[in-house]
Structure 1
Amino acid sequence: MTTASPPRQFVIRSPREAIALRLPVRGVAVAAILLLGIVVVSCISLATGSYGVALNEVWETLRGVTISRAIDNVVWEFRFPRTICAALVGAMMALSGGVLQNATRNSLADPSLVGISQGAALAVVTLTVMFPELNSGFRPWIAFFGSVLVAMAIRALSHTRQGASTIRFILMGIGLSAFISSLTSILLTYGEIDRAMAALAWLAGSINAASWGDVWTLLGWSAVLFPALLLLSRSMSAMRFGEAAATGLGAPVATVRNLQLAIAVGLAAIATSVVGPLGFVGLIAPHAARRLAPAGMGLHLVLTALLGALLVGAADLLGRAAFAPIQIPAGILTSLIGVPVFVLLLMRSRATVSH
C-alpha cells in the first residue's frame, strides 16, 4: 500500500517569529502565474482599442515619457482606470462569492445568484431613474444599503426551526432575485427614457465608463475589506469542517458567519455600484482556485481574488476587441461563461447526492 506524499511547502518567519506562514509551493506558483497573467492582459488591454498604441509606447507612457498628447490621454485617462477597475471589480466579486460559499457551506452561493447584486442594482437604478439630482458619490452607500436589505431578507426567510438551511438560502435567494429584477424592469420601463437608458447601460456590467474616481473608491474599500478577510481566515478555515468542529476548535461561529456575510455583501455591493452586476464571477473563481491549488483559507482567498481579476480583465478585453468597434459589456461575457459552469456544478452535486 502506497501513501501519498505531503505537498511541498516552505515557511516564512518574521525575525522574532511573531508571524510564521507555511505556504504550499504549488499554491504560491499558481499565484505567481495568475499575477503574471493579469499583467499580460493589462498590457494588452492598454494597447488595444480604436486608437492603436504599441506596447513599447504604452510602457514609455507609463514611465512618464510623453510620446504624444493623444497617447497620454488615451492611456492615462481612459484605458488605465478601466483596466484597474476591471481587475479590482473581478477580485471583489470573486472574494464575495468565495466568502458566501464558506459562510453558507454551499458551493453554489454567488452574489449574482442569490440576489445580493440585484439588491445593489435595484438601489442604484432607483437612484439613477428617480433621484438623478443626488450626488453620484452616494452610489456605493445606496448599493450597500440595498444589498444589506436583501441579505437580511434571505437570511430571515431561509431560517428554519432546525437553524439555517443552505438549500433554502439558495432557493430564497433565486426567488428574491427574480422579484427584485422585476422591480428593476418596472423602473426601466416607466422611467424617463434618458435616465432609463443610462441605467440600462450600467446594468449590462460595462466597465467602459470607469474613471479614476471609481478606482479610488474600489481601492479604498478593498484596503478595508480584504485585510479583514485575512484576519478572519483562521476561523473561516475551521468553519470548513462544520459548526460543531469549528466550535470545538474555539472559533466564534456566529460572529464569524455574520462578519463573513457583512464583508461579502460589502464587496459585492461596492463592485456592483461602480460597474453594474457581473454574473457568476463569484461562482467560477473560488471553484477554479480550489482545483488549481488546494490551500489554506488565506492563500485560497488570494488565489480567488487573482482569478476573479484575471477573468473580468480578460472578459473586458475580449468584449472590447473581438467585435470592434462594437463593445460587448464584460457582464454579458462572464454570464455566458458562468451559466454552463453553474449547470455542471448542479449536475455534479446531484451525482454526489445520488451516490
Structure 2
Amino acid sequence: MTAFTAPRHLVLRSPGERIALRLPVRALAALGLLVLAIVALSAVSLATGSYGVSLSELTETLRGISISRAIDNVVWEFRLPRTIAAALVGAMMALSGAALQTVTRNGLADPSLVGVSQGAALAVVALTVLFPELSPAYRPWLAFAGSICVAVLIQWLSHTREGSNAIRFILMGIGISAFISSITSALMTYGEIDRAMAALSWLAGSINAASWRDVWTLAGWSTVLLPAMLMMSRAMAALRMGEAAATGLGAPVHWIRPVLVAIAVGFAAIATSVVGPLGFVGLIAPHAARRLAHAGMGLNLLITALVGALLVGAADLAGRALFAPIQIPAGLLTAVIGVPVFIVLLARAKTQSY
C-alpha cells in the first residue's frame, strides 16, 4: 500500500503495516535521474571510440544479435567491461569516502587523501615489482592488508588525550601518504624497467585495461560490502552526531566504528587493486550527494554510490574521447576536479574552526 502524507515525502508500508518507510520525493527523483544519467553515459561510452558504433548497432549487439564479429569484440570484450568497471570503481570509492567521513566526523576524509589508497598501491606495486611470479589473484588481499595497516596507523597517530581532531587526522594522512608514495617511487626507480613501467601505468588510475575478470572481482566484493554497509545505516546516522549521542541512542559504537573502517578500507583497497589509485572521488561524491537531496543515511549512501559511478564513468569517457587517440587516465582527471573541491572544503573547515 502506498500513500502520500505530504508532497515532499512518500510513505511505503508493508501489507501488515509492520514496516513503513518515509522517503523524500526529491531524493527518489535524484536517485532516478542519476540512474538515467549513468545509463545514457554508458550508452555513449559503448558507442564512442576509434571504432565507431552507432546506437542502433549497439542496441542490437547488446540484445545478442551479431552484426559483425568486429563490433561484437569491441563491445563485449573491450568497452562493456571497461564501462562497468568504471561505474563499480566509482561507486566503491564514493562509499569508502562516505564511511570514512562518518567514522571520523570529518568532511575532508577521503581514501586517497588519508593514505588508504596509497597503502593499497604500495602493496600492489611491491607485488608487481618484487614478486612478479605471484598470481594477480593475491592483489585484492594484499591491497586490503596494506590499506588496513595505514588506516590503523593514521588513527593511532591522530588520536590525542582530547580525542580525535579532524585537521590533525587530515594532516597525518597527508604526511603518511607522502611517505608511502616515496617508498612506491623508490620501488619503481630501482626495479626492473618492464615491471616498473607496468606499475607506473597502473598508478595513473587507468581503466583501459579492465577485463571481465576485474568486473567480477569488483562486483563480488560489492555484493558483500554494500549490504553490510546499508545494514548499519541507522547506526551511521547516529554516529554522525558524535560518539556520546550515538551511545545514548543505543548504537553499538564499540564495534560499529572498526567495522565501518574495515568496510571503507575494503571498498578502497579492492577498487585500487583493480584500476589503481583514483583521487578525490571519495571526497567529492558524499558532498555532492548531500547537496542533491537531503535523505536518510541508507538512501544517501545509494545516491553517493551513483554519483561516484557517474563521476568516474564521465572521467574515463572524457579521458579517451577528448584527446583521442591519446588516452588520459581517469585518475588524472578526477584529481584535476578534486583538488579545487578539496581547497574549498579545507577553507570552509578552517573558517568554522575559528
State how many pairs are aligned: 349
Given that 1:278 and 1:330 are in contact with CA atoms closer than 8 Å, whether structure 2 keeps it comes out as yes
Is 1:170 matched with 2:181? no
Cα displacement (A) at 1:22: 1.3
Cα displacement (A) at 1:341: 0.4
Cα displacement (A) at 1:154: 0.8
Report the Cα distance in structure 1 between the residues aligned to 2:138 and 2:55, rounded to whole angstroms. 37
Equivalence for 1:67: 67
Cα displacement (A) at 1:242: 1.2
Cα displacement (A) at 1:320: 0.6
Give, as a single letter, the amino acid of the residue that structure 2 aligns with 1:83. Answer: T
Cα displacement (A) at 1:16: 3.0
Equivalence for 1:226: 226
Cα displacement (A) at 1:8: 1.0
Cα displacement (A) at 1:158: 1.4
Given that 1:128 and 1:199 are in contact with CA atoms closer than 8 Å, whether structure 2 keeps it comes out as yes
Equivalence for 2:51: 51
Equivalence for 2:3: none
Secondary structure in 2 matching 1:52: coil
Give, as a single letter, the amino acid of the residue that structure 2 aligns with 1:128. Answer: T
Report the Cα distance in structure 2 between the residues aligned to 1:140 and 1:353, rounded to whole angstroms. 38
> Percent of pairs identical after alignment?
73
Report the Cα distance in structure 2 between the residues aligned to 1:19 and 1:70, rounded to whole angstroms. 51
Equivalence for 2:21: 21
Is 1:256 matched with 2:271? no
Cα displacement (A) at 1:155: 1.4
Is 1:89 matched with 2:92? no
Equivalence for 1:132: 132
Equivalence for 2:296: 296
Secondary structure in 1 matching 2:126: helix
- Cα-to-partner distance string for 1:259-294 (whole Å, 9 max, x where unaligned): 110100000000000000000000000000011101
Secondary structure in 2 matching 1:156: helix
Report the Cα distance in structure 2 between the residues aligned to 1:143 and 1:316, rounded to whole angstroms. 23
Q: Residue 18 and residue 215 in structure 1: after superposition, are their counterparts in 2 closer, same or farther (change >3 A)?
A: farther
Cα displacement (A) at 1:7: 7.3
Cα displacement (A) at 1:350: 2.1
Report the Cα distance in structure 1 between the residues aligned to 2:7 and 2:125, rounded to whole angstroms. 49
Cα displacement (A) at 1:21: 1.6
Given that 1:123 and 1:142 are in contact with CA atoms closer than 8 Å, whether structure 2 keeps it comes out as yes
Cα displacement (A) at 1:239: 1.0
| Segment drifting more, 87-96 vs 14-23 | 14-23
Equivalence for 1:272: 272
- Cα-to-partner distance string for 1:195-245 (whole Å, 9 max, x where unaligned): 000000000000000000000000000000000010000000111111111
Give, as a single letter, the amino acid of the residue that structure 2 aligns with 1:119. Answer: G
Secondary structure in 2 matching 1:146: helix
Report the Cα distance in structure 2 between the residues aligned to 1:20 and 1:284, rounded to whole angstroms. 32
Give, as a single letter, the amino acid of the residue that structure 1 aligns with 2:23. Answer: L
Equivalence for 2:217: 217
Give, as a single letter, the amino acid of the residue that structure 2 aligns with 1:325. Answer: P
Matches for 1:115-126 after TM superposition, within 5 Å = 115-126=115-126
Equivalence for 1:332: 332
Given that 1:124 and 1:139 are in contact with CA atoms closer than 8 Å, whether structure 2 keeps it comes out as yes
Runs (4+) off by over 6 Å: none
Secondary structure in 2 matching 1:79: helix
Equivalence for 1:201: 201
Cα displacement (A) at 1:113: 0.1
Give, as a single letter, the amino acid of the residue that structure 2 aligns with 1:285. Answer: A
Cα displacement (A) at 1:18: 4.3
Equivalence for 1:245: 245
Given that 1:7 and 1:24 are in contact with CA atoms closer than 8 Å, whether structure 2 keeps it comes out as no
Given that 1:154 and 1:169 are in contact with CA atoms closer than 8 Å, whether structure 2 keeps it comes out as yes
Report the Cα distance in structure 2 between the residues aligned to 1:7 and 1:138, rounded to whole angstroms. 51
TM-score using structure 2 length: 0.97
Q: Residue 7 and residue 200 in structure 1: after superposition, are their counterparts in 2 closer, same or farther (change >3 A)?
A: farther
Cα displacement (A) at 1:339: 0.1
Give, as a single letter, the amino acid of the residue that structure 2 aligns with 1:53. Answer: V
Report the Cα distance in structure 2 between the residues aligned to 1:79 and 1:252, rounded to whole angstroms. 44
Given that 1:115 and 1:150 are in contact with CA atoms closer than 8 Å, whether structure 2 keeps it comes out as yes
Report the Cα distance in structure 2 between the residues aligned to 1:339 and 1:169, rounded to whole angstroms. 18
Equivalence for 1:3: none
Give, as a single letter, the amino acid of the residue that structure 2 aligns with 1:347. Answer: A
Report the Cα distance in structure 1 between the residues aligned to 2:269 and 2:299, rounded to whole angstroms. 24
Equivalence for 1:112: 112
